[in-house]
Structure 1
Amino acid sequence: MSIQESLVSFMKEQAYKPMNAKELARVFDIKKHEFEEFLKTLSFMEKDGIIVKTRTEHYGVPERMGLVIGKLQGHQKGYAFLIPDEERPDVFIPSSALNGAMNGDRVMVKILREENEGKKCEGEVIRIIERFNNTVIGVFEDNKNFGFVVPDDKRIYHDIYIPKSCFKGAKAGQIVIAEITKWPDKRRSPEGKVIDILGKKGDKGIDILTIIKKHKLPEKFPPKVESYAEKISEEIPKEEYSRRVDLRNLKIVTIDGEDAKDLDDAISIERLTNGNYRLGVHIADVTHYVKDKNPLDKEAFKRGTSVYLIDRVIPMLPKKLSNGLCSLNPKVDRLTLSCIMDIDKTGNVVNHEIYESIIKTSERMTYTDVTKILRDKDEKLIKRYHNLLEEFSLMEELCNILYKKRISRGAIDFDFEECKIILDELGKPIDIKPYERAVANRMIEEFMLVCNETVAEHMFWSNTPFVYRIHEDPDLEKLNHFNEFVHNLGYVVKITKEIHPKSLQSIVEGVKGKKEETVINTLLLRSLKQARYSPECIGHFGLAARYYCHFTSPIRRYPDLMIHRIIKEFINGKINDKRSVRLEKEVEEASNQSSDMERLAEEAEREVDDLKKAEYMSDKIGETYEGIISSVTAFGLFVELPNTIEGLVHISTLTDDYYIYDEKHLCLVGERSKNIHRLGDEVKVIVDKVDLDAHEIYFELLKEEENSNNDHIHSEGKGDQSEVTEFIEEK
């Protein structure tokens, strides 16, 4: 145990009373020549918010002093919420108690009032541990003698004051990046200087570029990384052919979307003489090129994941690797890591092997074509791919077996609709249509899931440090709220201290095809925790899996790349005690960094989607649509259209009565008429207005008498979700 861990453990003891540095030094037997270093450790821990120093220079842990550490989440109205590091409710911070803290800052908060009788826990920022917004993106406004930047992120409610000498040529209406030079306090807004001009609002690509900059996502690879990638030989070394298992004689195919360029997984399948299936999942061996701590590895660790933003990808690796050397393109030799599984007729993996291999894929298939072959019996495609028909048929058989097994053990299979946003050459959205989660998508989904489980269990029993994908058990309080709501709709969930996913799965299965399906699934999803990466193997609740990891996408996810490296070292006997100790630290760092970067990528992807959905609806003011009430709040109703676009019906537009919010039943009730607007209700709405800056869409409910007279009601096409390989995580 390190000195930091020992100090924290000691200070958390019930009998501990705050001590000064000399008293702590005596307890920990710190020698005179070690005292200066000990003081530095205390100072570092204090700056990081791990411990607190009082005015009398005594030390303690925050939680024993009525203090909470966490990240600040701002609101455009000026107040904020503290999202605590520890497992405890969020803390409301009024604008008067922010004391100069801004959205995203890591802060220490003093609790002023605990949660009581419906009133939220309230606090005051007493220390800003780490600033988040060193730069702010927004619209520049010129006021002759000075300027200011109106932040694009509405959670930063201060405008940034810009002295005239710091304009850097910026003109009114331009999108700029401002660096903060003076932080805000109770009496003063933040001050800054313009450091970059991105362009004029409305220019092609500026909207998405603004989001990229706002989230501090990388745009280009450093020259050192690009140069390193370019120097990698495209020739596979001769020794790799001799040391690896040669699988080039197998029929191996990739099955991906039409637009995919980074093909990192391929499939082979055959029926064994005993009737079992032999499924091969072959994953690009990215670690052959991205060695531990080389420039490519360091950059991939920093990025954590590839980010997909409708019309562009911010890749984790340079294109030479992601679209070239590591992509399992057809009819070329490629280095892979293969997991070969023998699976019986009930879906059990009865035998498996994991080894380094070399493959040559037979075809680059698409979800669309494989679905047309299996579901639609497309004669043209059947003729073209006649040599693979037996394999596709076996894949469909095995997919159904694996799905049945997964559902029988209690995996929760949400079937949310996702959409594809189609842009024109100017970047304007021209269509939003649902993805189809067809047979081919489901096949790859099931094969990747069983492979990830098999690899995770294999490495768990090897007792080697590893990066697992975990999904913790849900919070019982949130589940009880969910249970109260579904109980009113006639559904029952048996909630105990050790809730099993099967209890929740029965609800998901029970609402399939019903009007309340989307609403109940959404509420349930909000009751669950988010999946994350961890060195600890504690299982995946949503998948009802005891062992789970991410093995199948090393081109676009750092954890997959790292565990490939660990697996290769393990199967080649290179992990000794010394390496194992080093790996423990690396695995923890990678888990934390990758989880953080995944959240950041999700936030950016969601924001780009919201932006383009708002833009799509901006020329549809006055048009009428059918939708479903997807959320109810004290300030109104959210209505979701079948193409996943969501808009707010503000309570002020419900003019037929005065409506009261019933939080328990999640509905608005008319005080006089007793009209009820509840979750899941089907409604007709008119597009009222669109706020492009806030990416918000506003609807008005169509009155009953207008319904019958309205000749033109849009019914956006329904469809299935695509590629929800891990439904819990993607949402």
Structure 2
Amino acid sequence: MSADHPAQHLMSSPSQLNPDNILRFLQLRGEPASTNEIARGLHLKKTDTRPLFKILAKLKKRRAIEELPGGRYRLPNRKKEQQAPGQQPLRRPAPPQERPALANRDEVKGRLVLHQDGYGFVVPDVPVPHLDGDVFIPRDAVEDAMHGDHVLARIQRRGGVAGAQRAEGRIIRILGRAHPTVVGLFRYGPQRNVVLPYDVRIQHEIEIPRGQELTPGLSKKLGFSGSDETSIRLRRIPRLDELDGAVVNVELLRYPRGGASPTGKVIEILGRPGDLGVDTEIIIRKHHLPHFFSAEVLEEAEHHAKPVSDAELAGREDFRQLPIVTIDGETARDFDDAVYVARRADGGWLLQVHIADVAHYVRTTTALDQEARLRGTSVYFPDRAVPMLPEALSNGMCSL
């Protein structure tokens, strides 16, 4: 009989790979575990290896777990967790307010994930002892929270067996808002104008007060440029074909409160549903992907996007005379890796993989570095890409 760790007997049959099971495994194990130990404990298949690493990376980014030297993972010790000296916090779409200490064991802080039917779940920031999974929030207990918000919930009912309980609760406080903007369809109405969110998990229609439907371009077209909001509201604003049924991006001016609808201001008109490229624009704004670079970042990229000098070549080996090739799509422009193959004298083969030295151009703590950390990666769509770095680097000096 093998002397397996008790946590390896979490389940007697193959289980689905998901963050909850990984967190529960680490919680029951009580000590750091390698990816192989996690895979054995959850009865994963070889095909689950890559998804496992992706989930571990997401949990690590959420600070739900921490990685130790040697590729072992454990639940974080929150009491010891501090920000590294000199580390600059990354910009977030909606920074959460200061998080108060929990008043009792029935209060849970986490991210609210709503279903299109109105109910939702609070995914705890840290695993809750003896609680199996997330906290269920009925439709009438969501209060003024929106999908994705960071919330404080109070558990009102528990069920299940000891050590693996299910919980139902109610939102009692909103700690941080997830959506500074919402993308949706603009609709004129007899009493008020509204925007219907494309994300069906956002349950509220966004009310657009009179005059707030006008972007700077529309104000200029109507001759309202330079007018203040009060004077615009007093004017007769015609029904505009550019707006009616258009896909728009709205900045939220007021979030839901006491049953009142949120209000917003149209800041972009993206086009018509079905128009070429509009789906991509919707996805970018729906997920709040940073897609504009500040003037400071662009200036810094242009400053560093210069040919390598003789001084910078010192200590490096120059491979530019070799016939190195890249394997990319026909429309690709950011060639960040390339290969070279040559027959050796002994009959074998020499394979070289050449990778762009991006760190030479992006220095730590610079504006470029902070922007790259915020974005994390380039995002590719069928018709365009949202690069991690400005094109002067991504498609220029850092492209092979």
Which of the five TM-score ranges fits, normalised by the shorter chain?
0.5 to 0.7
Structure 1 residues 246 and 182: alpha-carbon distance in aligned structure 2, compared to 1, 3 A threshold: closer
Instruction: State yes or no: 1:182 paired with 2:254.
Output: yes
Matched residue, 2:148:
104
Structure 1 residues 208 and 275: alpha-carbon distance in aligned structure 2, compared to 1, 3 A threshold: same
Task: Find the aligned partners of 2:167 and 2:397 in 1 and give their Cα distance.
Answer: 54
Query: How much does 1:245 deviate?
Result: 2.2
Task: Find the aligned partners of 1:208 and 1:182 in 2 and give their Cα distance.
Answer: 27
Alignment of 1:282-297 (within 5 A): 282-297=354-369
Query: How much does 1:276 deviate?
Result: 7.0
What is the SS of the residue equivalent to 1:81? strand
Instruction: State yes or no: 1:71 paired with 2:143.
Output: no
Instruction: State yes or no: 1:51 paired with 2:97.
Output: no
Does the CA contact (< 8 Å) of 1:8 and 1:51 recur in 2?
no
Query: How much does 1:104 deviate?
Result: 0.8
Give the letter for the 2:334 counterpart.
D
Task: Find the aligned partners of 1:67 and 1:277 in 2 and give their Cα distance.
Answer: 62
Query: How much does 1:48 deviate?
Result: 3.5
Matched residue, 2:126:
86
Q: What value does the CA root-mean-square deviation take over the aligned residues? A: 3.0
Task: Find the aligned partners of 1:132 and 1:102 in 2 and give their Cα distance.
Answer: 8
Does the CA contact (< 8 Å) of 1:145 and 1:163 recur in 2?
no
Query: How much does 1:150 deviate?
Result: 0.8
Task: Find the aligned partners of 2:347 and 2:101 in 1 and give their Cα distance.
Answer: 62
Alignment of 1:310-709 (within 5 A): 310-328=382-400
Query: How much does 1:120 deviate?
Result: 5.0
Alignment of 1:180-329 (within 5 A): 180-185=252-257, 187-232=259-304, 234-248=306-320, 250=322, 252-269=324-341, 278-328=350-400
TM-score by length of 1: 0.35
Task: Find the aligned partners of 2:360 and 2:378 in 1 and give their Cα distance.
Answer: 19
Structure 1 residues 127 and 280: alpha-carbon distance in aligned structure 2, compared to 1, 3 A threshold: same
Matched residue, 1:158:
204
Structure 1 residues 276 and 121: alpha-carbon distance in aligned structure 2, compared to 1, 3 A threshold: farther
What is the SS of the residue equivalent to 2:247? strand
Give the letter for the 1:266 counterpart.
A
After superposition, what is the alpha-carbon deviation per residue over 1:629-653, rounded to whole angstroms, capped at 9, x for unaligned?
Answer: xxxxxxxxxxxxxxxxxxxxxxxxx
Query: How much does 1:9 deviate?
Result: 3.7
Give the letter for the 2:316 counterpart.
R
Task: Find the aligned partners of 1:277 and 1:177 in 2 and give their Cα distance.
Answer: 55
Task: Find the aligned partners of 1:255 and 1:167 in 2 and give their Cα distance.
Answer: 47
Structure 1 residues 277 and 90: alpha-carbon distance in aligned structure 2, compared to 1, 3 A threshold: farther
Task: Find the aligned partners of 1:302 and 1:141 in 2 and give their Cα distance.
Answer: 34
Give the letter for the 1:51 counterpart.
A
Does the CA contact (< 8 Å) of 2:270 and 2:278 recur in 1?
yes
After superposition, what is the alpha-carbon deviation per residue over 1:411-464, rounded to whole angstroms, capped at 9, x for unaligned?
Answer: xxxxxxxxxxxxxxxxxxxxxxxxxxxxxxxxxxxxxxxxxxxxxxxxxxxxxx
Give the letter for the 1:259 counterpart.
T
Give the letter for the 2:204 counterpart.
H
Structure 1 residues 317 and 276: alpha-carbon distance in aligned structure 2, compared to 1, 3 A threshold: same
Structure 1 residues 136 and 270: alpha-carbon distance in aligned structure 2, compared to 1, 3 A threshold: same
Give the letter for the 1:99 counterpart.
E
Give the letter for the 1:281 counterpart.
V
After superposition, what is the alpha-carbon deviation per residue over 1:12-71, rounded to whole angstroms, capped at 9, x for unaligned?
Answer: xxxxxxxxxxxxxxxxxxxxxxxxxxxxxxxxxx9543623x4xxxxxxxxx52222211
Give the letter for the 2:108 counterpart.
V
Query: How much does 1:316 deviate?
Result: 0.8
Query: How much does 1:283 deviate?
Result: 0.9
Does the CA contact (< 8 Å) of 1:145 and 1:164 recur in 2?
no
Does the CA contact (< 8 Å) of 2:307 and 2:397 recur in 1?
no
Query: How much does 1:181 deviate?
Result: 2.8
Matched residue, 2:64:
none
Does the CA contact (< 8 Å) of 1:72 and 1:82 recur in 2?
yes
After superposition, what is the alpha-carbon deviation per residue over 1:584-635, rounded to whole angstroms, capped at 9, x for unaligned?
Answer: xxxxxxxxxxxxxxxxxxxxxxxxxxxxxxxxxxxxxxxxxxxxxxxxxxxx
TM-score by length of 2: 0.61
What is the SS of the residue equivalent to 1:128? strand
Say how many residue pairs are matched: 277
What is the SS of the residue equivalent to 2:133? coil
Does the CA contact (< 8 Å) of 2:305 and 2:393 recur in 1?
no
What is the SS of the residue equivalent to 1:243? coil
Query: How much does 1:251 deviate?
Result: 5.3
Give the letter for the 2:99 counterpart.
G
Query: How much does 1:303 deviate?
Result: 1.3
Task: Find the aligned partners of 2:272 and 2:284 in 1 and give their Cα distance.
Answer: 16
Query: How much does 1:269 deviate?
Result: 4.3
Task: Find the aligned partners of 1:75 and 1:90 in 2 and give their Cα distance.
Answer: 14
Task: Find the aligned partners of 1:174 and 1:77 in 2 and give their Cα distance.
Answer: 25
Does the CA contact (< 8 Å) of 1:49 and 1:108 recur in 2?
no
Does the CA contact (< 8 Å) of 1:68 and 1:111 recur in 2?
yes
Give the letter for the 1:98 counterpart.
V
After superposition, what is the alpha-carbon deviation per residue over 1:500-538, rounded to whole angstroms, capped at 9, x for unaligned?
Answer: xxxxxxxxxxxxxxxxxxxxxxxxxxxxxxxxxxxxxxx
Query: How much does 1:129 deviate?
Result: 0.8
Structure 1 unpaired stretches of 5+: 1-6, 11-45, 55-63, 329-731
Task: Find the aligned partners of 2:320 and 2:262 in 1 and give their Cα distance.
Answer: 62
Task: Find the aligned partners of 2:362 and 2:370 in 1 and give their Cα distance.
Answer: 9
Structure 1 residues 106 and 275: alpha-carbon distance in aligned structure 2, compared to 1, 3 A threshold: farther
Query: How much does 1:275 deviate?
Result: 7.7
Give the letter for the 1:295 counterpart.
A
Give the letter for the 1:195 counterpart.
I
Task: Find the aligned partners of 1:193 and 1:235 in 2 and give their Cα distance.
Answer: 45
User: Identity percentage over the alignment?
Assistant: 44
Query: How much does 1:109 deviate?
Result: 1.2
Structure 1 residues 233 and 112: alpha-carbon distance in aligned structure 2, compared to 1, 3 A threshold: closer
Structure 2 unpaired stretches of 5+: 1-76, 81-95, 219-239
What is the SS of the residue equivalent to 1:78? coil
Instruction: State yes or no: 1:135 paired with 2:211.
Output: no
Structure 1 residues 231 and 222: alpha-carbon distance in aligned structure 2, compared to 1, 3 A threshold: same
Task: Find the aligned partners of 1:166 and 1:248 in 2 and give their Cα distance.
Answer: 56
What is the SS of the residue equivalent to 1:96? helix
After superposition, what is the alpha-carbon deviation per residue over 1:157-200, rounded to whole angstroms, capped at 9, x for unaligned?
Answer: 11122233433266431222223233224532223333333333
Does the CA contact (< 8 Å) of 1:81 and 1:90 recur in 2?
yes
The structure whose residues are more often helix, as a share, is 1
Does the CA contact (< 8 Å) of 2:305 and 2:361 recur in 1?
no
Task: Find the aligned partners of 1:182 and 1:220 in 2 and give their Cα distance.
Answer: 25
Instruction: State yes or no: 1:126 paired with 2:172.
Output: yes
Matched residue, 1:612:
none
What is the SS of the residue equivalent to 1:254? coil
Give the letter for the 1:246 counterpart.
D
Structure 1 residues 268 and 93: alpha-carbon distance in aligned structure 2, compared to 1, 3 A threshold: same
Structure 1 residues 165 and 229: alpha-carbon distance in aligned structure 2, compared to 1, 3 A threshold: closer
Structure 1 residues 161 and 243: alpha-carbon distance in aligned structure 2, compared to 1, 3 A threshold: same
After superposition, what is the alpha-carbon deviation per residue over 1:664-698, rounded to whole angstroms, capped at 9, x for unaligned?
Answer: xxxxxxxxxxxxxxxxxxxxxxxxxxxxxxxxxxx
Query: How much does 1:127 deviate?
Result: 1.3
Structure 1 residues 259 and 176: alpha-carbon distance in aligned structure 2, compared to 1, 3 A threshold: closer
